[in-house]
Amino acid sequence: MPDLDSAFSPDGLLATAVPSFRPRPQQLEMARHIAEALTENRVLVAEAGTGTGKTFAYLVPALLSGGKVILSTGTKTLQDQLFNRDLPTVRAALKVPVTVALLKGRANYVCPYHLERNSHDGRFLTAQDAADLRAIARFAKTAQSGDKAECTEVGEDSAAWLAATSTRDNCLGQECPNVKECFVLSARRAAMDADVVVVNHHLFFADVMLRDEGMGELLPACNAVIFDEAHQLPETASLFFGENVSTAQLLELARDTRSETLAGARDCRELIDASRALEKAARDLRLAFGPEPARLSAAQAAALPQFDDALKALDDELGRFAAILGTQAERSEGLANCLRRGDEIRQRLGRWRTPDSAELIRWVEVFPQSAALNATPLHVSQVFRRQLESHPRAWIFTSATLAVGSDLGHYCDELGLSQLEPPPLTEVWGSPFDYAEQALLYAPAGLPDPNHPDYVEAVARTALPLIRAAHGRTFVLCTSLRAMRRIHGLLAEGLERAGDRLPMLLQGEGSRTELLERFRRLGNAVLVASQSFWEGVDVPGDALSLVVIDKLPFAPPDDPVLAARVEHLQKSGRNPFMHYQLPRAVINMKQGAGRLIRSERDRGVLCICDPRMIDKPYGRVIWRSLPPMRRTRLEAEVVAFLEQLPPPPGT
């Protein structure tokens, strides 16, 4: 069995097997700490700067540990990359007989039962949906895993997938007539048999809370859990340690009940009518909030003129629906399952209307076509800590952005790790990149306060000469969708006036994957985006040379979840800004800044427009948490730096 030194040395196993491998002291040191935590069943919290090679740093000790390991990622993109590229590469280099499996949530796998039922139903919103469902049916006949990511003929956002997959609510489990063909059960069996299982954070928490997604048996059997992109865990844990009722869930229940009624109780016209009435009540609740997406506290929702009446009408209609469904439920497994779902939704709705705990934040999220009533815990530390204490195993938390400066205390407190005995091991490794040589941090002088009505125009004016000097190759990252759209329009006008024909891309014009592919392919594009491009986006090389950030990424003060947590911290005598809002902003800013330098060869400019980074004492906390780039406030110095970079091909 190889050891860490033989794996990571300049002429070792990884160097021999991976042409791009470069030994880094931080990577080997990180691997040693992880190996120690795995051996001693300890908790390790580790920030590793961009370029450390943290993926190999945890994969090598994980594969050499001899135990069962769960690897959990923040995104399905990284999950697929680990399973399809990194794990096979490291396993082959180490020559260890380790079995690996990929496990996703059930919505990622074709469900033969629902696919067959909905194909026969034949009612679709568009001809494209019908064509997509036929393509999925062809895929399902030959698929090994049933993973929709492998069905390249149908887009991941196609509405047909709703008709071809199951949810926790509408899965029939062992009672399903298609259980022998179930891709979800097949994936779970493979995960139970494997030495290393790759999951994502949503799946991990869905299972911890719901004992549903295949890890109810998997978690107790494992020796270690490694969380990559661990900065996302507090948010994901909040989502799953709470409850919600959405109008989308109710519409799905109504549709499934109609489908099951037509198949198993066609003579019960009353149930068809009840499902239609439930749909109307759900849509009326959505209409009570007006047309625009929003996030509202329970009190703000209650102040809306139609909300209380619409909520009571929905509860009443759900009760009538359940009563009729109860008379038919014995006629099929599908109808019985719909009754169970209806009862669960009504119980959650009842708890939302009359909560039994002061520790829950009740709020509403309004989407263009739906609304969700959410109950989110004030803090997740106690619930999460119970999971860590439930069974002796190693827990590794790693990301490029966990610390404020070099302090990991905020992160450990938020997840309840600080109260563990023994306390967690903590380490911070900086990036091996030469930031002073490779990058320039620009804090422009003379910009107005971010609340000034002309601030967005000032950001666009600041960015324009830099974009021209960089020949495009720019991300403009905004903290709101409104600012994003306005800045995109202003930059497009400015470039047109200057006669620069640079491609302008805007978040929302295509999927994130499509936009990134276009950005890389064009080589001289400007992408204006909001929150979803601040992290998990990798554009190494010359295609990205400038990142402009409009504001420090503080959460909106009127956000209902933030407001409730701020109030709770104030009542407990703590400073919510220093203990909660600032650390979150630091981590978000580090994520945004991390888009710029992705390899030893990259060079570029990070422009942070917000004057508070210079003018306010807390701005220095953010400033000092960023990579050690050379810093300037002079536009001419930035333009000169950008003009020295090799121009894009064809210019």
What is residue 546's predicted lDDT score, i.e. its pLDDT? 95
**What does DSSP assign to residue 174?**
G
Asked whether the beta carbons of 535 and 560 are under 8 A apart, the reply is no
**371-377/360-366 β-pairing:** antiparallel
- Closest to 346 measured CA to CA, from 323, 319, 311, 371: 319
| pLDDT averaged over 10-residue windows placed end to end, the chain, 651 residues | 86 91 93 96 95 95 95 88 93 95 91 86 75 91 90 84 86 87 91 93 76 58 92 88 92 92 91 96 96 92 96 96 94 92 94 87 94 92 82 92 91 92 93 92 95 96 96 94 95 94 91 86 94 80 91 89 89 90 91 86 94 94 92 96 84 60
Q: Find where tokens 């209409």 sit.
A: 287
What is residue 1's predicted lDDT score, i.e. its pLDDT? 64
187, two tokens: 């994936």
Q: How far does the chain reach from its first CA to its final CA, in angstroms?
A: 53
**Global confidence as pTM:** 0.88
Q: Return the SS3 of 529.
A: strand
Asked whether the beta carbons of 504 and 531 are under 8 A apart, the reply is no
What is residue 212's predicted lDDT score, i.e. its pLDDT? 47
83, two tokens: 């399973």
Alpha-helix residue ranges (DSSP H) falling in 330-405: 333-353, 381-389
Q: Which residues contact 462 (CB under 8 A, 6 or more apart)?
A: 444, 447, 548, 607, 609, 635
303, two tokens: 């102040």
The C-alpha atoms of residue 390 and residue 211 are separated, in whole angstroms, by: 15
What is residue 575's predicted lDDT score, i.e. its pLDDT? 92
428, two tokens: 């911070």
Q: Return the SS3 of 310.
A: helix
Amino acid in position 139: F
466, two tokens: 């830099």
Q: Find where tokens 């007989």 sit.
A: 97
CA angle (590 as vertex; 463, 82 as ends), nearest 5: 115
Phi, psi dihedrals of residue 409, rounded to the nearest 5°: -60, -40
The C-alpha atoms of residue 164 and residue 107 are separated, in whole angstroms, by: 9
How far, rounded to the nearest angstrom, does the alpha carbon of residue 336 sit from its chain's CA centroid? 34
What is residue 238's predicted lDDT score, i.e. its pLDDT? 87
Asked whether the beta carbons of 188 and 214 are under 8 A apart, the reply is yes
The C-alpha atoms of residue 417 and residue 415 are separated, in whole angstroms, by: 6
The C-alpha atoms of residue 440 and residue 450 are separated, in whole angstroms, by: 23
Phi, psi dihedrals of residue 218, rounded to the nearest 5°: -70, -45
The C-alpha atoms of residue 189 and residue 234 are separated, in whole angstroms, by: 29
Helix (H) or strand (E) holding 527: strand 526-529
Helix (H) or strand (E) holding 122: none
Read off the pLDDT of residues 527-586 as tens digits, 9 standing for 90 and up. Answer: 999 877 888 777 877 889 999 999 999 988 888 988 998 988 898 899 999 989 999 999
User: How buried is 421 (Cβ within 10 angstroms: 0-12 exposed, 13-18 middle, 19+ buried)?
Assistant: exposed
Neighbours of 236 (CB within 10 A): 21
- Sign (positive or negative) of CA dihedral 374, 375, 381, 384: negative
Q: Return the SS3 of 351.
A: helix
Phi, psi dihedrals of residue 597, rounded to the nearest 5°: -105, 110
Read off the pLDDT of residues 435-477 as tens digits, 9 standing for 90 and up. Answer: 999 999 999 999 999 999 999 999 999 999 999 999 999 999 9
Asked whether the beta carbons of 504 and 492 are under 8 A apart, the reply is yes
480, two tokens: 């709101």
Neighbours of 122 (CB within 10 A): 8
57, two tokens: 């740093």
What is residue 460's predicted lDDT score, i.e. its pLDDT? 97
**What does DSSP assign to residue 266?**
T
What is residue 183's predicted lDDT score, i.e. its pLDDT? 94
- Closest to 44 measured CA to CA, from 404, 429, 382, 377: 429
- Sign (positive or negative) of CA dihedral 366, 368, 372, 375: negative
Q: Which residues contact 12 (CB under 8 A, 6 or more apart)?
A: 5, 6, 23
The C-alpha atoms of residue 584 and residue 556 are separated, in whole angstroms, by: 12
CA angle (80 as vertex; 74, 81 as ends), nearest 5: 90
**360-366/294-297 β-pairing:** antiparallel
The C-alpha atoms of residue 415 and residue 423 are separated, in whole angstroms, by: 13
- Closest to 82 measured CA to CA, from 161, 177, 199: 199
What is residue 122's predicted lDDT score, i.e. its pLDDT? 63
Residue 173, sorted as left (phi over 0), alpha (psi -120 to 50) or beta, turns out to be: left
Q: Can you give the three-state secondary structure of 536-591, one letter per residue?
A: CCCCCCCCCCEEEECCCCCCCCCCHHHHHHHHHHHHCCCCHHHHHHHHHHHHHHHH
Domains delineated in the chain: 4-99+194-239+380-429 (3.40.50.300), 106-181 (no CATH), 245-377 (1.10.275), 435-643 (3.40.50.300)
Asked whether the beta carbons of 153 and 135 are under 8 A apart, the reply is yes
Amino acid in position 335: L
The C-alpha atoms of residue 127 and residue 118 are separated, in whole angstroms, by: 14
